[in-house]
Amino acid sequence: MNAKILFLLGVVTLVAADRRPRPSYSAPRDFSEESYESSEAQYNFNWAVDHDPSSNEFGHQETRDGDDTQGSYYVQLPDGRRQTVTFYVDGDSGYLADVKYDGEARYSDESSSFESFEYAPRRPVYG
């Protein structure tokens, strides 16, 4: 009797599994016929930060019209100099940059020199 019930449940399971919806596959759509209008990239932005308490200054300016991009960014370096990068991108020509430094590097007497710095790796702690 148990064998008949198991056989009947197996047949019902197979019939139910056969009725699941199957995914339909079709030929890929041809998007070449559809027309999507797009415009050339065009933007212009500028931002700057001047934090007086830390004397930290940095900023970025960029303009783009199609494939032509140009701009600059600057940052106040820890040694007191200001680094300015002026860049230009013309389509596939790549990124062309001109880096300039303004000011003179100043180092604090209170900080220890690099040569006197001793590095001691931390000892592993187990358990």
Q: Which residue has the tokens 């308490």?
A: 53
φ, ψ of residue 5 to 5 degrees: the values are: -65, -45
Number of domains in the chain: 1
C-alpha dihedral sign at 9, 12, 16, 18: positive
In a domain, 27, yes or no: no
In a domain, 66, yes or no: yes
Average pLDDT over residues 22-49: 77
Residue 119 in this model has a pLDDT that exceeds 70: no
Q: E strand or H helix at 17, and its extent? A: helix 2-18
CA dist 72 and 103 (Å) reads 18
Tell me the average pLDDT of the chain. Answer: 81
Compute the residue count for the chain: 127
C-alpha dihedral sign at 109, 114, 116, 117: positive
In a domain, 32, yes or no: no
In a domain, 5, yes or no: no
pTM, rounded to two decimals? 0.54
More confident residue, 50 or 12: 50
In a domain, 80, yes or no: yes
**Domain containing 50: what range?**
40-106
In a domain, 47, yes or no: yes
Tell me how far CA of residue 11 lies from CA of 5, 22, 35, 104, in angstroms.
10, 20, 52, 88
Residue 21 in this model has a pLDDT that exceeds 90: no
What pLDDT was estimated at residue 18? 62
In a domain, 8, yes or no: no
- Residue 99 binned pLDDT confidence (cut-offs 50, 70, 90): very high
In a domain, 4, yes or no: no
